[in-house]
Amino acid sequence: MKKTIPTIIITIVIAVLAFLGREDLAKLFEEEAKKPTITITDTAKPDKPKDNPDKPKPVKGKATRDPHLTLGNPSKAKANPTSLNNFLVECPQYALAFDNTTGNPKWVAWHLSKAWKGEAKRQDFRTDSRLPKTFRMVSKSDYTASGFDRGHLCPSDDRDGSIADNEATFFMTNIIPQAPKCNQRVWKGLEDYSRDLAFDGKEMYIIAGAYGVGGTGSNGGLSKTIAKGKVTVPAKVWKVIVVLPNGENDLTRVDANTRIIAVDMPNNQVVADKDKEWWDYLTTVDEIEKNTGLDLLSNLPIPLQKKLEARSDKGENNANKISMEKQYGSYPVKYDLSAD
């Protein structure tokens, strides 16, 4: 940056230099005094340029609660009593499609961010009165002594912001017969990891479900149904997680670099053998769609869908098989709910 020095100051400097016997410098300044001003270069740090008003400003990542079907309705389910095998249930906590033939949800979709977290106490399982009266009503007791856990798809710990939020996860339409070692170990590991991401400034759109017939619970042997045929035991359980930094206009922020975590694991008691973790069951969205007949991420542009759905996650911890305990500490994690 350039600055100017008034002529009167130059004159004073010449006089001082002459008094000190520095006629050479005095002569130099005398020549400059003939000019209106003299310019010198300021070596100070230049002023910070002003912000360009036309340049878009980044959105501060604040955790929010967003619509669960932002990325699409995987089976085009409708809340129509005639849709026996594809009945849509939407509530503030999640959306799901219930299959009256199997007594299980075809899929459950929910949004996860820190905004959903709190300290509400865990509630209890209950029959879902939101279903049409002609539908089969699965109850808590239908699972008693079956050898299978009442496995949440949308987890209780993802919805502890209020008692109402937590209660919604205990409707039996959000539950599947899940092998205990699948539910309590490998499946839980991914649930815990997802919540870690939420407390690390991420928000997620999650879809989970099950398919096939026949799983192995703690009673041993292959079980195709429980509750005298009322509820089908699935062979596989799957989950897809779309990970974004907290922000706004989420659908438009999904791009070719967006992280997609997709897993597909057996519903049995050996799923966690040999210290296997959730990342040992990584797959692609394409593979899950092939096995389930669902159309996941259907609200995204087709070219983008093709890129994302063909890619298996290469997260920083997956390739190196770093254990969850070493990387993230013991569970359950104690979260700091006071921080933004």
As annotated, the active-site residues are 152
263, amino acid identity: V
Using DSSP's 3-state secondary structure scheme, residue 268 falls into coil
The whole-angstrom separation of Cα 216 and Cα 81 is 32
277, 189 Cβ separation under 8 angstroms: yes
Helix segments in the chain, DSSP class H? 7-19, 23-33, 163-168, 180-181, 187-198, 250-253, 285-292, 302-309, 324-328
According to DSSP, the β-strands at 231-232 and 225-226 are antiparallel
φ/ψ (deg, to 5) at 3:
-130, 155
Q: Residue 226: CB partners within 8 Å, gap ≥ 6? A: 142, 143, 146, 148, 177, 233
Strand residue runs (E) in 37-136: 37-41, 87-91, 94-99, 104-112
Q: Which residue has the tokens 């040999």?
A: 274
Token pair for residue 180? Answer: 């205990």
Give yes or no for a cis peptide into 234 (omega within 30° of 0). Answer: no
169, 89 Cβ separation under 8 angstroms: no
107, 207 Cβ separation under 8 angstroms: yes
CA triplet 213, 274, 283: central angle to 5 degrees? 50
Token pair for residue 124? Answer: 């209890």
- Sign of the CA dihedral with 296 first, then 300, 305, and 309 last: negative
